[in-house]
Every structure is written in C-alpha cells, then in structure tokens.
Structure 1
Amino acid sequence: MASQPDPQAPGPSGPLGSSAGGAVDAPLLGVARSLKGRAWRLVPVVAREAEALAQAFGLPDIAGRLLASRGVTLDTADAFLDPRLKAALPSPLGFRDMDAAVARLAHAVARRQRVVLFGDYDVDGATSAALMHRYLSALGLSPRIHIPDRLTEGYGPSVDAMRGFAGDGADLVVCLDCGTAAEAPLTAARDAGLDVLVIDHHKAPARLPPAVALVNPNRLDESGAGTGLAAVGVAFLVVAALDRQLRQAGTLPARGGPDLLGLLDLVALGTVCDLVPLVGPNRALVAQGLRVMAKRARPGLRALADQAGVDSAPDAYHLGFLLGPRINAGGRIGDAGLGARLLTTEDEAEAAAIAATLDRLNKERQQIEAAVLDEAAARAEMAGDRPVLVVDGAGWHPGVVGIVAGRLKERFDRPAVVLAHSDDGREAVGSARSIPGVDLGAVVIDAVAEGLARKGGGHAMAAGMTVALDRLDELRAFLDARLAGPVAAARADAALTLDGVLSVDGAGPELVAAVERLAPFGMGNPGPRFAVTPARVVKADVVGRDHVRLIVTGPAGGRLKAMAFRSAETPWGAELLAGKGRAFHLAGRLKRDDWGAEPKAELHLDDAAPAD
C-alpha cells in the first residue's frame, strides 16, 4: 500500500507540537482569510518518509519533515545536505558551442589578444565579467571590462559599441549575461571583423545572432541540462572547460595556476542575486561559494561586507539583500562599472573607496525608488483588476523600475511591468516581474516578434523591454490576453503554505540551527515558513522607514520579536500596530538574531490572522 500524506498539522504545544488534526486541504488553524486575504495551508508530508529521513541522518524531526516536503528522499538526502560540485554540475562539453568557445578563448590566450568583456549592468553581469577577468588575467591577458550605461547605452551590446571596440583594435568580445538576442550588434561586429562569444542564460529566440560561439543552456536546441544556471554559473563552466583544455595542452601545469574554486564566491553572489532556483547545480555552487566568501579573501567583497555590516559568516540572505543591492546601485543610478571594478581590484584602498560609493548610491537609490513607487502604485490602483499591471510615467528613473515592478507584484499579487518614458517622449524602457507559475519572459519575446515591443527578453520571473509609447495600449491588451489564464490559475493556487506550527517558546535559536541544515535558501528552496501561535502582542511600533516591529508572548511566558518589513502603511500592518493586547496567529520565517550577548530568534512576517 502506498504511503499517504500526513493529514495531521503539528500543533502549538512545543517546538513542533502535538497533532492539531484536520485534513490537509482544510485551512490551517482555521485561517480561511488572513489579514492579507489568503487561506493558510499546511504543506503535506508523508510522515513515514519524514521520520525515516530524520532517523537515517541524525536530524531533528522538523528537519526530516522539511526535507520530505521538498521531495528529498533517502537516496538524495546526502547530496542535498552536502552538495558537491563534481556530482551536481553538468558536463561543460555537453553544451552546444562550448568546444568552439573554449577553442577561441585558448587562441586568445596563446596569441595574447585584446579581449573585451561586455557584461550586463546587474549583479549577474558584474560577477560574470569579474570571474572571466580574474581568470584571463591570471593567464597573462589584460582584458577590458565594459558595462554599458543604463541610460545612455541601454541593455546589452549595441551596434555603436561593437564598431567602437573594433575601431579600438579589440580582437575578441565576450558578451556575458547578454547578447543572445543581439542580432544587429553581432552582425555589425562580424562585418567589422570582430569575433564575438556569447555566454548567457536568457531565453533565446529561434534565430540566433552570428557569433563564433553562443553558450546558453536556454537555447532552443539545447538538451535541457543547466537551464536554471545564472550567467555567472555558465561562465564558470566555460572557464572550467578552458582550464581543462589548457592543462591538457601543457599551457598550464597539471598543478598550480589559476584557482578555479577561489572564483566560487563570485558565482554564489551572482547566482543568488539573479533569483535562479537554488537547486541542483546552483545549490552546490552557492553552498561552496559561501564557504569561499567566508574566508574574506577578496578585497572588494570584504570592503562591501564591512559597509553593509555583515560581521558573521555570509549566507544567501546577506548576498541577496545586503551585498547585491549595493553592487546593483552602481548600474541603477551611478557608474555601471563600479561593481565589476570592486570585484576585480586587489587594492585595499580602492576597494574601500568603491564600497563606500556604492553604499551611498544605494541610499540614494532607496529614496528615488520610494518616490517612483508612490506614483506607480497610485496608477496601478487605477488600472483595475487586469491580469497584468502595466504602468508608465515620465520622469521615472529607469534604474529603479525593476525594483518597483517587484514591489507592485508583491502588493497586487500579479505580474507587473513598470516603464519609464524616454526624454523625447517617444518610447518607454522598463522591467517586468512575474509571480510563480507565470512565464513572463517567453511572452515578452513573443511581443517583440509581434512588433509590439522594439526589443525585450528575460526569463520566467523577470524581463526587460523597450516599447514605443503609441503601441503601449496594444502591448497591455496582448499581455492580458496571453496571460489571463495563467495568472488566474496561479492566483487561485496562491494560498500561503506553511511547514508547521510552533509555540512562541518553541520558536528559539535551537530550531533556527536545525532549519539552517537545509540552507542555502532562495528561489526553488525557500526558507521554511511557520505559524507561531498563540502570539499575544505586548508591544507594536514602527522602526526604520515603514517596518512594523512586534514583541509577542505565549501562554508559557516566552517572548519573540517579529518584523513585518515595508508594511507600516498597509492595511495588515495597521492592524498589527493596533493589536496591542490581542492574540494573533503569525506566519513567517525564523532568522537568527545575533544582536546581544546570547543568540536569539526573530520571526520575519509574511502574514497574520486574528487568534482571539
């Protein structure tokens, strides 16, 4: 007889509690409509499998349950808990054009050619360019990094840029995290006698641009291996294949030479910040990269961590929310090349100066973002209940539209497109963010093919585009028509899923330590989310710009801090602020609170519901 999902929800009597009863599809704790309008569901788990995992690997019961809920089995648990690169990474030579890319790079090394590394202006682009720069520099080359200015050049290679590189005497351009759809620029490069390699991961059109090699696991003619890799992960595989060929040819010694594993801190940073799934190869790359980063050997990352106040071993949260936004700030509102320069410099003073500049730019970016968000949210409210929000405005800084799109997506629970008008008022450039289950990148590529957008592309959860303003209404109608069904299905299945129920006393640092065995967390492997109940509010206030802080207590007298970020001006945040003395069910993720002499836990809230 097949095992069945455990129909029992852990109750609130202890760290996991005793059974609270109820069917899996019934609302957890009776929450059919929370303060944010969602039903709560318990993640179904086969109890026998969870117990077997906990016993086999000497884990707490909660860790076994969490592993089982992620589809981890006795056969795959060891690889999940201790991911190894050799077992997890696909063979580099299995990718189309990899052999041609390696041969062309090896030729550049042998002839000491002039190489330009053309990267995107986000963290994935900066880390990809820095990784390739560090490796080629170790081989004696002096590659030049070019990160395009977001305002004056836009995304990806341009015809003018390619002709300029050729005129400057470049022999080879390597496009990193861009170039897959750049047919006109790469045609111009070919006509100018300039070789181009493309190392990318964005969705590819049916017709590929002319390049010496185009390595992209998301080509339509690829096998499917490595489709979730960020561009920096693909770049690492290219470098690994090149390193192997150079050693086999005797160009490099069998031992010594460039340190490939020492580049994994860059791979981890770019992978986390590009929001690709942290499963399979990405999980191994990030896990190993975090260990490299913990050594603080790279001057730029060390200086940036100091600016961001990261004084403990880094984890995916530090990369995604503290380091990444600062590197992105240069590309958003300042000098787009700052991030790559920070990641390649060996000069401590230069690293400190760049890190300080990026920190300042990040603060400025936050102010600009807040102003654009206020306007964009007001226009989104006026758009009604359309499947896809498309808002545009004059005077909006193009460097923050992606962040604002993400905020609107979270607030309105649907894909959001935010477009900034050009100075001449003829077109708009912007970014889009999607919700799980809705592939936005593919539809943007189709919009370009239909002539509704001048250019655009991306992946399932994020995309960019340039649109003529007189075609904007047509684009809105196209997106609504194509995505109405997927958006409706995704939102209908958008109940808040929780991994268990805890008491306030059970939500302590010991449980956080057990949960961290499953890290790194991110897309594809989200941090476990728990309900903590009953939680009676003894203090509620606003900290920072608009964060709600709660101090709650349970029946046994334990206390817990809970944070609801960017929620003070929302309806659910207002109800929490007015909730002193009331009991709530709180839903969120437990984090370490290292402030103070003793380790504690705090709850980062996703939702709440009345419990009295």
Structure 2
Amino acid sequence: MPTPFRQANKIVIVADYDADGATACAVGIRALRAMGAIVDFAVPDRMTMGYGLSIDVVKFAARMKPDLLLTVDNGISSHAGVDYANESGIPVIVTDHHLAGETLPAAVAIVNPNQPGCQFPSKNIAGVGVSFYLMLALRHVLKEREHFQTRPIPNMANLLDLVALGTVADVVKLDHNNRILVANGLKHLVGNSCNKGIAALIQVSERDRLKIKSIDLGFLIGPRLNAAGRMADMSAGIRCLATDNSDEAMELATELDQLNRERREVEAAMCEDVEPLLQNIKSIGQYTLALYDPQWHTGVIGILASRVKDKVHRPVITFAPGIASGQIRGSGRSIVGFHLRDALER
C-alpha cells in the first residue's frame, strides 16, 4: 500500500456527486473509520465547481486540513487538480473506473481497472466496487501488520448493500463479478445488517425492504440519491448512507425524497420544452445534436440528454446557463459505438 495511507492522520474523501460516488464515499468512510482512521469527505457543488478533482475542489477540501486526499468515482482526468494538490503538499490517491486519457494524473497511486496496463479482470466495475476492493486490500495489509490486535477486524461484507446500490444505480454492465457483488448486497439489504440510510430510503419510497429487488435500487433508491447532486449537493446523500442513527437517516432520506420530487417536476417541464426544438430540426443526419434553453436546470440536463438520445438515436449534448455571467454548462449522452469524449478530444 502507498506510504501516504500509512502516514495520514486525516483522510478526506473527494466524491463524485452521483449515486455511485455517494456509495463509494460511504464505503470508504465506514471502512476507514472501522480501521481506525480519521475520515471526512468533500463533494463538489455541481453548479459552481464542476466535475472531478478540480483546483476549486482541492481548495475546498484543503480547509479540512487533510494529510491525504482520496478520490472515489472521479479523478482519472483531474490533472490540474492533482498538480495543485501536490504543490500544496497534499498527496492524492485516485480511485476511479472511468476511461483514462492519453496521460494519467500525477497522483501517488491510481486504482482504476480501466487504466493502461491494469490486469484486474472486471473492467465493468463501478466506482463503488473499486472503493470496496481497495478497502479489502487495505484491511488485508493491516491484518498482516497486526493492526487489529486492539480493535475488531471490520467485516467488509456489511458494506455490500452499498456496493449493490451504487453498481445498479450507475447502470454498469452486470458481468459475472458485478452480479456476485449485487446478489450478495441484496442479501444484506433484507437482513439485519442493512445500512440505516438505505433502509430509510426504501421506507420513504414506500417499498417493503424484505421484498426489495435490484430494479428497485435502480429506479427508486438511486434516483433519490442522485437528486441531491442534481438539485442541491450530494452531502445529504453521503451523510444518509454514512450514519448509524436511524432517526438521522430517516430525516435525511425524507429530504432526499423531497429533492427527487422537485427533480421530477423540473425534468417534466424540460422534456416539454425540448419538443418544439426537436420539431424545428428538419434532419439530424449523422450529426451530434446540441440543444440549449436559458430556462433549463444545470443539474437535470444530463437526464434530458439521455431522454433525447433515446428518442433520436444520436449523440446529444444539452446546455443550460452556468453560474458565471455568459457561461453555459453542458452534459452529453452518446449511443453505442460512438465515444463522445474521444470525439470531442479530436
């Protein structure tokens, strides 16, 4: 394991603002605390900081005085942010599952099955799965060093409900490895060791936890988590999954449920707005479709792009006004066989 893990007095986890990032962060918080670490988290504000470990996010996290930054579900493309952290004397470990670019950030370590040269066989694993495997590896190293002589060895299987939720919500391919993770996570969901936050989210979704299925994770629980990142920030979602207090979990789950109701209303209005725009386009041909409306919500344009992509079967980028004057922000969704990021880089 990298030296910074052994030397760090305080670890700050930098999470992505979707359900995969929230569950990956909760896995890291719970596992590291169980192993005796001092842990906090930082999550970017979608509206002001953008995606990934940007310089602004590093500045925000630096206020917590970390000895180590650990990214989950992001960071593989965060060259500037990692460089700034290094210049500030804060080492960074990147854990991610997204495809790497031509160069890798200058982190002290990168854990990503999709980076060049990585022989980990499960390439479809979600960010929460990467976080889970890293915590397993860290526990193994600490056991070898007799770290657990004065504290119980954490049972990582108790985190599998979080892994199942993040994996299903991120819509990654359910290959053999992911099916094992999800199947075992569902067993924990219906058992006595179910995560308090997930149990509360199931309750506000008016579902019976003992009858929960993977489709419920994707269409009921995941959207309520994602709503926090879309309409506000993901802090409430992470705190919901990280708490062991049932009352706090229910309070946060109720807040997430209300945010999801607001998200659905905004999404419905935007889907109505886009119809006249599509009708005015005579022929799309083999082009990417770019759409903008000054009234659209930045946190929901990704969902809108996905809806339009499914309708026209073309890559779609939707734009909405940013925070700064004269700035717009976009979110893209592509079709099978066309990699949007690679096309934009060319």
Q: TM-score, normalised by structure 1?
A: 0.54
Distance 1:436 1:254 in 2: 52
Distance 2:17 2:167 in 1: 15
Distance 1:380 1:223 in 2: 44
Say which of 360, 364, 381 aligns to 2:258.
360
Name the SS of the counterpart of 1:266 in structure 2: helix
What residue number does 1:505 align with? none
CA shift for structure 1 position 140: 2.4
CA shift for structure 1 position 104: 3.1
What residue number does 1:470 align with? none
Kindly tell me: are residues 140 and 255 of structure 1, through their superposed partners in 2, closer, same or farther at Cα, counting changes over 3 Å? closer
Say which of 187, 193, 203 aligns to 2:83.
187
Name the SS of the counterpart of 1:431 in structure 2: strand
Q: In the alignment, is residue 210 of structure 1 matched against residue 106 of structure 2?
A: yes
Q: In the alignment, is residue 431 of structure 1 matched against residue 328 of structure 2?
A: no
What residue number does 2:37 align with? 141
Counterparts in 2 of 1:257-296, with a 5 A limit?
257-295=153-191
Residue type of the partner of 2:206?
A: G
CA shift for structure 1 position 289: 0.8
What residue number does 1:455 align with? none
Q: In the alignment, is residue 415 of structure 1 matched against residue 311 of structure 2?
A: no
Asked whether the equivalents of residues 329 and 358 of structure 1 are also in contact (C-alpha less than 8 Å), the reply is: yes
CA shift for structure 1 position 153: 1.4
Name the SS of the counterpart of 1:150 in structure 2: coil
Distance 1:391 1:186 in 2: 32
CA shift for structure 1 position 353: 0.7
What residue number does 1:300 align with? 197
Residue type of the partner of 2:134?
A: V
Q: In the alignment, is residue 350 of structure 1 matched against residue 248 of structure 2?
A: yes
CA shift for structure 1 position 164: 4.2
Residue type of the partner of 2:179?
A: R
CA shift for structure 1 position 309: 1.3
Counterparts in 2 of 1:510-549, with a 5 A limit?
none
Unaligned runs of 5+ in 2: none
Kindly tell me: are residues 315 and 348 of structure 1, through their superposed partners in 2, closer, same or farther at Cα, counting changes over 3 Å? same
Asked whether the equivalents of residues 128 and 270 of structure 1 are also in contact (C-alpha less than 8 Å), the reply is: yes
Structure with max Cα Rg:
1
Residue-by-residue CA offset, 1:562-594 (whole Å, 9 max, x unaligned):
xxxxxxxxxxxxxxxxxxxxxxxxxxxxxxxxx
What residue number does 1:227 align with? 123
Q: In the alignment, is residue 309 of structure 1 matched against residue 309 of structure 2?
A: no
What residue number does 1:251 align with? 147
Name the SS of the counterpart of 1:214 in structure 2: strand
Distance 2:155 2:279 in 1: 52
Q: In the alignment, is residue 391 of structure 1 matched against residue 288 of structure 2?
A: no
Distance 1:198 1:185 in 2: 11
Distance 2:7 2:181 in 1: 28
CA shift for structure 1 position 246: 0.6
Give 1 or 2: higher strand fraction: 1
Residue type of the partner of 1:193?
A: G
- Give me the CA root mean square deviation: 1.9
Kindly tell me: are residues 335 and 439 of structure 1, through their superposed partners in 2, closer, same or farther at Cα, counting changes over 3 Å? closer
What residue number does 2:232 align with? 334
Segments ≥4 residues shifted beyond 4 Å? 253-256
Name the SS of the counterpart of 1:275 in structure 2: coil
Distance 1:378 1:295 in 2: 49
Residue-by-residue CA offset, 1:9-61 (whole Å, 9 max, x unaligned):
xxxxxxxxxxxxxxxxxxxxxxxxxxxxxxxxxxxxxxxxxxxxxxxxxxxxx
Q: TM-score, normalised by structure 2?
A: 0.93
Unaligned runs of 5+ in 1: 1-98, 451-612
Distance 2:4 2:295 in 1: 44
CA shift for structure 1 position 347: 1.2
What residue number does 1:86 align with? none
Asked whether the equivalents of residues 264 and 292 of structure 1 are also in contact (C-alpha less than 8 Å), the reply is: yes
CA shift for structure 1 position 377: 3.2
Matched length: 342
Distance 1:325 1:287 in 2: 20
What residue number does 1:153 align with? 49
Asked whether the equivalents of residues 377 and 408 of structure 1 are also in contact (C-alpha less than 8 Å), the reply is: no
Residue type of the partner of 1:342?
A: C
CA shift for structure 1 position 255: 10
Asked whether the equivalents of residues 313 and 335 of structure 2 are also in contact (C-alpha less than 8 Å), the reply is: yes
Residue type of the partner of 2:201?
A: L
Give 1 or 2: higher helix fraction: 2
Distance 2:126 2:214 in 1: 15
Work out the percentage of aligned pairs sharing the same amino acid: 37
CA shift for structure 1 position 425: 5.5
Distance 1:118 1:253 in 2: 30
Comparing 317-326 and 150-159, the one that deviates more:
150-159
CA shift for structure 1 position 154: 1.4
CA shift for structure 1 position 157: 1.6
